[in-house]
Structure 1
């Protein structure tokens, strides 16, 4: 963390961060959240679309956006309407602004140590780590993940470190192709 400079900004207010973008080799947005439908559209869609457009205007050549896998579960898109609409809105902006250098990462479940408060941490890796390893070793998990209803049970959760490595590669390495990086591709970054 000694090489990180923390700066406060607001994705909905580009003036708070646009001065940091010129000269950057890439940008990453992992802005997202839950709430009511309008809040989820604003946080997952509008905020990310603003960050993408601002980065493009500043001349940033590549952009990685941490989106989400939308499972084939009947009713999911209805229940999570704002979340799904917001993620789709941001991806549309990404591919419009960055057809040659935009990557949308679509993880399913991301796990690591979750801070609940300053003194309480939830060790999600104890639950999801073994599930991740099991599903990645299951020979036909990728095919089973496409089945209706039960498919999401075969999608491996990915460690937050894998998502971070994949996002950095997508934002900085021109050999990472533009488009969608699915959960299986993201999981490969956890093997490092």
Structure 2
């Protein structure tokens, strides 16, 4: 895993795109503050740039760096969640503008997966995480389900967990309003 971390970090620092395992499914990622890298992911996925992507963080204490005002309920939801949880926050800031939805929201998930935690910790910034598929096709639950076109489009493919056949599922998604309103988008 050490070699994978080093190579993935080098690619992220250079503004490149990685294909990597997450705490849910395999993802495509980049530096969440780099607009050119984010745009390249939209192109790889053939996805409209009006459909925002989420970012992964490894520490709850960094939320306030990227969200204007974190609703108090978010901390409870994160603490009580027994599976991966993506929360869509209002007032996203300090990230690539083309990553933030038109209404100013952004999905953020705190990762508990070992590789991504270490990667983000060493990178010292959030990374984009979007399913490793072309828009409109099924998201790959395991590495072997990833379209070869996606694999050849990225700058580095992480080797760690490629042989893991555990079928992961996408995270739950909850949208929070400024006043703490809760909307469940995917249970």
Confirm or deny a common fold (TM above 0.5): no
Structure with the higher strand share, 1 or 2: 2
Larger relative contact order, structure 1 or 2 (CA cutoff 8 Å, min sep 6): 2
Structure with the higher helix share, 1 or 2: 1
Name the TM-score, length of structure 1 as normaliser: 0.29
Name the TM-score, length of structure 2 as normaliser: 0.30
Rg larger in structure: 1
